[in-house]
């Protein structure tokens, strides 16, 4: 592949041996020809590195000595990439043959497009949707657009989205050079929201590529309702807001968070939504301490996040950015009471 002309697929991996064979095999079946695959291994101890060396020598392997987190692994892959575009892919996915081609076509259509989202499905037979872009809640939490719906073609246009899910997306390298890479302080979760909002604020557009279809075994590596995930999501959503939100939205964060907590409490009591599923594995006391731990961790690095906020490139005027976020806003009810 000639540097700067093709696509670099970056696959972060941490103990993903159960998923790598199908994921990498599906990448070999792509209709798009000018691409490379870079797997960045985060200190796996399950034989992932040995498997890639033995069974997939065509893959560029970057083996880190320890688990440095999803964001850092992505950045290592991006820095090593030679493509004009970065296609980011979770290891617990299987991509359809036109995945890269469809993403590339979506980004190539307009030089202003910096990001493209895949149509991510949870089940290839029922066609239950995981994500067709992302939505935002006023306390910093992001939620998958279309999640839980059955794909009947209702999203089969290449229209504008707020930003893509980092599970399966394409980013223009030019945009990444301009706005910076993933924030490694996040370690894992919400880093795609931070990057996406920075890109939008800098004037880059984001679109859906509905023909770039991916099957995602949701949270296959880290666990769907793990305390690790819950703490990092709750902490990182605060950093997303502090770094990127317009001032008017920043002032709403405590009230928006309180409203979400109330809906989540209701969901836990009535057995509705993701809170109820999380409650099946964790006590109320455990959930309370996770939230407290997340806020303490967030506050410790609040000065750093404010400093990063000042460094963000702002091309889109404040009011225009507010209107954009309102267009892709999710309600507390939907966020809390849907799985």
**Dist CA 89 CA 99 (whole Å):** 11
Structural domain includes residue 127: yes
In DSSP terms, which residues pair with 36 in a beta bridge? 8
Q: Check: CB of residue 144 under 8 Å from CB of residue 219.
A: no
More confident residue, 266 or 76: 76
Q: How many domains does the chain have?
A: 2
303 shares a domain with 166: no
Structure letter (DSSP) for residue 213: E
Rg of the chain taking only CA atoms, in angstroms: 19
The verdict on 31 and 165 lying in the same domain is: yes
Residue 222 lies in a domain: no
**178 and 306 both lie in a single domain:** no
pLDDT at 317 over 80: yes
Asked if 121 and 151 count as a contact pair (C-beta separation under 8 A), the reply is yes
The share of the chain scoring above pLDDT 70, in percent, equals 95
The two tokens of residue 246 are 């317009």
Task: Calculate mean pLDDT across residues 243-268.
Answer: 94
Q: Tens digit of pLDDT for each residue in 131-148?
A: 999 999 999 999 999 999
Share of the chain residues as helix, strand and coil, in percent rounded to the nearest 5: 45, 20, 35
Contacts of 129 (CB under 8 A, 6+ apart): 119, 120, 121, 122, 144, 146, 147, 148, 149, 150, 151, 155
Both 166 and 185 in one domain: the answer is yes
- Identify whether residues 177 and 300 lie together within a single domain: no
- Same structural domain for residues 145 and 278? no
pLDDT at position 2 is 46
Question: Does residue 256 belong to any structural domain of this protein?
Answer: yes
DSSP 8-state class, residue 222: T
Whether 221 is in a domain gets the answer no
Residue 290 has pLDDT above 60, yes or no: yes
**Who contacts 275 (Cβ-Cβ below 8 Å, separation ≥6)?**
264, 265, 267, 268, 336
My answer on whether 34 and 126 are in the same domain is yes
In the listed set 216, 249, 284, which residue is the last one of a domain according to the structure? Answer: 216
Q: Are residues 206 and 234 in the same domain?
A: no
Which CATH number does the domain housing residue 119 bear? 3.90.550.10
CA pair distance 244, 196, nearest whole angstrom: 10
Does residue 1 belong to any structural domain of this protein?
Answer: no
Domain that holds residue 166: 8-216
Question: 122 and 239 share a domain?
Answer: no
Identify any residues that bridge with 119 across adjacent strands, giving them in sequence order.
213
CA distance 204 to 107: 11
Among residues 216, 242, 271, the one where a domain terminates is 216
Do 274 and 190 fall within a single domain? no
Q: How many CB atoms lie within 10 A of CB 146?
A: 20
Q: How far apart are CA 244 and CA 222, in angstroms?
A: 26
Which of 57-89 are b and which e, b meaning 16 or more Cβ less than 10 Å from the residue's Cβ?
eebbbbebeebbbbbbbbbbbbeebbbbbbbbb
Same domain, 172 and 99: yes
Section 52-63 average pLDDT: 97
Task: Supply the pLDDT for residue 94.
Answer: 98
- Domain contains 97: yes
Instruction: Let me know if residue 188 belongs to a domain.
Output: yes
Q: Does residue 107 fall inside a structural domain?
A: yes
Q: For residues 242 and 236, give the distance between their C-alpha atoms in angstroms, rounded to a whole number.
A: 10
Across 78-87, 257-266, 273-282, least confident range: 273-282
Pairwise pLDDT comparison (11 vs 268), residue with the higher score: 11
Tens digits of residue pLDDT in 9-45 = 999 999 999 999 999 999 999 999 999 999 999 999 9
- The β-bridge partners of 329 are 136
Average pLDDT, the chain: 94
- Same-domain status, 48 and 124: yes
């Amino acid at each position: 592949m000639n540097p700067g002309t093709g696509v670099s697929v970056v696959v972060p991996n941490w103990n993903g041996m159960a998923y790598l064979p199908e994921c990498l095999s599906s990448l070999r079946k792509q209709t798009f020809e000018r691409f490379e695959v870079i797997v960045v291994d985060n200190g796996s101890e399950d034989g992932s590195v040995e498997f890639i060396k033995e069974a997939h020598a065509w893959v560029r392997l970057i083996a880190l000595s320890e688990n440095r987190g999803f964001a850092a692994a992505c950045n290592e892959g991006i820095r090593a990439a030679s493509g004009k575009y970065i296609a980011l892919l979770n290891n617990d996915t299987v991509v359809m043959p036109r995945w890269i081609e469809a993403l590339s076509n979506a980004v190539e259509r307009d030089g202003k497009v910096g990001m493209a989202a895949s149509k991510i499905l949870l089940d290839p037979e029922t066609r239950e949707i995981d994500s067709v872009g992302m939505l935002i809640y006023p306390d910093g939490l992001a939620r998958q657009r279309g999640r839980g719906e059955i794909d009947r073609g209702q999203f089969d246009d290449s229209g504008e989205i707020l930003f893509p899910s980092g599970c399966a997306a394409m980013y223009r390298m030019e945009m990444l050079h301009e706005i910076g890479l993933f924030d490694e302080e996040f370690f894992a979760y919400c880093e795609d929201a931070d990057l996406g909002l920075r890109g939008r604020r800098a004037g880059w557009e984001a679109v859906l590529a509905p023909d770039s279809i991916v099957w995602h075994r949701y949270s296959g590596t880290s666990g769907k309702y793990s305390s690790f995930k819950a703490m990092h999501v709750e902490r990182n959503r605060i950093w997303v807001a502090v770094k990127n939100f317009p001032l008017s939205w920043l002032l709403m964060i405590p009230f928006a968070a309180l409203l979400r907590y109330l809906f989540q409490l209701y969901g836990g009591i009535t057995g509705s939504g993701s809170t109820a599923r999380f409650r099946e594995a964790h006590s109320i006391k455990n959930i309370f301490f996770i939230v407290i731990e997340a806020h303490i961790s967030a506050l410790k690095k609040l000065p750093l996040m404010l400093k990063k906020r000042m460094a963000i490139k702002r091309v889109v005027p404040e009011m225009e950015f507010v209107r954009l976020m309102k267009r892709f806003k999710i309600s507390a009810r939907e966020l809390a009471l849907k799985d």
